[in-house]
């Protein structure tokens, strides 16, 4: 067994969200897992890396992406996104490119929640086999909506009634879905025929899918933006509510009792608002109408102690796969009024708990995979430090981005 020691760094403490000084970690180079973690220089090893008092934290976990979306095309124009059979080959190419981009920006784990024609399930398999470079991915396949509902025109699966939901969820799990996604309400960007407050799937339909998924230990995410849709999703037993623009006091109490997570995806709406000349007027109107409520909802949920996990909704208009995760974290502080510590936890240990992978990811701890990033500045003093262009990125103990010539290796 060969091991590498990393020492002289400020290490992320997942319990507090702060950084502990003068830490070391030893990684088994074959398994990619931490074998020893502590304070001081640690034992002498043949191969050691002096981290130079920089800040080391677990790799970023993004719990809401759409990996096969091509945001390089203008919204509303031909070929935006991947939404028909002729685009399937390009979907695979786009997805593999997006995977590589995310990893090189420090995102080492992702949860894909909706894609066309189950593309993400095979991409996730290929990543685990080592034939695709990118984050470890939990994949949903296509999302479920009512007939004509949110996402139904972009490769989603239309279901109406409990029996159809039950059958479709079982089929998706048979095909390899590791997370189930329901479109409970309308949204911002699907079209001017719907809105975020519009309830689409019924509570009994969502509950039927939750029951089937939970039988197999598979988690369920719900796109729910309006207040009533959010509460329908919680009552139905989903594990996370995505976007959650309008969280009222009743919903907060329900989330705390049930342990429901919120994935805010603040960057998705802000990127639309910031491009008034490039998106339809109805979309701008819808985004600006709900933006203030969204900010207040995130702040109130965080203050109340609701579980929050970071996600970007990457693949929506002008919302890509590069540094957007780090930008989302900045927005959670600026607009969601969360503390930097809360945000760092949301993108590491909280995200891992939501995804059911906290035994392997989300901490710098013995037995965990050595997925980590190293940055120059303490992000609790300046959350923008996560956006650093030259940060080190390691996945399973192997360097992805690492400026070796700048460090002492013995």
CATH number of the domain at 37, please: 2.30.40.10
Same domain, 256 and 313: yes
The last residue of one of the domains, among 313, 333, 355, is: 355
pLDDT digits (tens, 9 = 90+) for 217-258: 999 999 999 999 999 999 999 999 999 999 999 999 999 999
Tell me, yes or no, whether 52 and 65 share the same domain: no
Q: Are residues 66 and 213 in the same domain?
A: yes
3-class SS shares of the chain: helix, strand, coil, % to 5: 35, 20, 40
Both 189 and 264 in one domain: the answer is yes
pLDDT tens track for 280-317: 888 888 888 899 999 999 999 999 999 999 999 999 88
Residue 13 sits in the same domain as residue 65: no
pTM: 0.95
State which of 312, 333, 355 marks the end of a domain: 355
pLDDT in tens, 335-386: 999 999 999 999 999 999 999 999 999 999 999 999 999 999 999 999 999 9
User: Is the backbone of residue 402 left (phi > 0), alpha (psi -120 to 50) or beta?
Assistant: beta
The conformational region for residue 136 under phi > 0 = left, psi -120 to 50 = alpha, else beta, is: beta
Shared domain for 99 and 170, answered yes or no, is yes
Same-domain check for residues 304 and 399: no
Q: Are 192 and 151 in contact (CB under 8 A)?
A: no
pLDDT greater than 90 at residue 326:
yes
Domain count, the chain: 2
- The torsion defined by the Cα of 355, 123, 364 and 256, in degrees rounded to 10, comes to -10
Question: Within this chain, do residues 25 and 78 fall inside the same structural domain, yes or no?
Answer: no
The answer on 200 and 266 residing in a single domain is: yes
Same domain, 136 and 268: yes
User: Which pair of tokens denotes residue 242?
Assistant: 């995505």
Q: Is the pLDDT of residue 136 over 90?
A: yes
235 shares a domain with 188 = yes
- Predicted local confidence at residue 192, as pLDDT: 63
CATH of the domain at 115: 3.20.20.140
Q: Which domain holds residue 33?
A: 3-58+362-406
Separation between Cα atoms, residue 228 and residue 407, nearest integer Å: 54
Domain boundary among 355, 373, 396: 355
Strand pairing partners for 37?
A: 25
Residues 340 and 369 grouped into a single domain: no
């Amino acid at each position: 067994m060969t091991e590498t020691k990393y020492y002289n760094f400020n290490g992320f403490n997942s319990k507090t969200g702060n950084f502990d000084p003068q830490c070391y970690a030893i990684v088994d180079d074959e398994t990619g897992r931490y074998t020893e973690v502590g304070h001081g220089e640690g034992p002498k090893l043949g191969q050691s890396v002096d981290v130079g008092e920089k800040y080391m934290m677990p790799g970023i976990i993004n719990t809401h992406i759409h990996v096969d979306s091509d945001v390089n095309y203008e919204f509303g124009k031909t070929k935006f996104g991947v939404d028909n059979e002729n685009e399937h080959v390009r979907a695979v190419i786009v997805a593999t490119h997006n995977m590589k981009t995310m990893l090189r920006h420090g995102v080492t784990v992702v949860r894909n929640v909706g894609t066309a024609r189950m593309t993400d399930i095979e991409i996730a398999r290929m990543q685990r086999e080592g034939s695709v470079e990118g984050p470890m991915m939990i994949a949903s396949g296509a999302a479920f909506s009512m007939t004509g509902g949110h996402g139904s025109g972009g490769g989603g699966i239309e279901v109406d009634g409990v029996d159809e939901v039950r059958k479709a969820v079982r089929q998706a799990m048979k095909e390899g879905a590791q997370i189930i996604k329901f479109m409970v309400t309308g949204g911002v960007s699907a079209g001017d025929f719907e809105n975020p407050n519009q309830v689409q799937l019924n509570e009994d339909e969502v509950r039927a899918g939750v029951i089937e998924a939970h039988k197999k230990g598979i988690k369920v995410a719900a796109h729910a933006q309006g207040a009533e849709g959010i509460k329908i999703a919680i009552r139905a037993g989903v594990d996370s509510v995505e976007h959650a623009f309008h969280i009222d006091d009743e919903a907060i109490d329900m989330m705390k009792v049930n342990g429901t997570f919120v994935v805010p995806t603040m960057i998705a709406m802000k990127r639309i608002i910031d491009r008034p000349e490039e998106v339809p007027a109805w979309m701008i109107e819808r985004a600006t109408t709900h933006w203030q409520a969204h900010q207040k909802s995130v702040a109130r949920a965080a203050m109340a102690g609701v579980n929050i996990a970071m996600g970007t909704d990457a693949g929506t208009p002008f919302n890509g796969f590069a540094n957007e995760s780090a930008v989302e974290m900045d927005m959670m502080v600026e607009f969601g009024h969360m503390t930097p510590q809360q945000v760092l936890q949301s993108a590491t240990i909280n995200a891992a708990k939501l995804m059911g992978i906290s035994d392997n990811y989300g901490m710098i701890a013995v037995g965990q995979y050595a997925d980590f990033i190293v940055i120059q500045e303490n992000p609790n003093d300046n959350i923008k430090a996560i956006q650093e262009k030259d940060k080190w990125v390691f996945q399973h103990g192997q360097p992805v981005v690492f400026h070796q010539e700048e460090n002492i290796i013995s």
